[in-house]
Structure 1
């Protein structure tokens, strides 16, 4: 008894070569996406965070000055009330 197997290439079947090609294509696309995101983050976000840092430092300094001024006025009024 002779068994004959017919091997037909099914274009929809995933052969190991097709699987590796698909993985390679996905890696390349992810690499391009990663590069684009890196470009966006390194340029835009860094600059924006730098501006935010400057704004926060300026506001912190201003609020500290106002706090000191209010404390001086409070001590002055307290001194006047005690006399």
Structure 2
């Protein structure tokens, strides 16, 4: 049983602005991550000690910032973008 994936409204807008091949690749990587028994093994934990930490998924020069909720088997994609800009909020 895999994790469910939820995209925020900001992510949907950002994916629409990206080249189609990049957006598709990011979504494919997130879906593949959702099928893993422990998705935190394949992502980098971002610094900052909040109770629900953020993780970064690398897809070429782009990054997806994720919140992985193990208790409800949910991956929330909170931000996507080029690596030079995506970390500014998180």
TM normalised by structure 1 equals 0.23
Is the strand fraction higher in 1 or 2? 2
Tell me which structure has the larger Cα radius of gyration: 1
Is the helix fraction higher in 1 or 2? 1
Q: Higher relative contact order by CA 8 Å / sep ≥ 6: 1 or 2?
A: 2
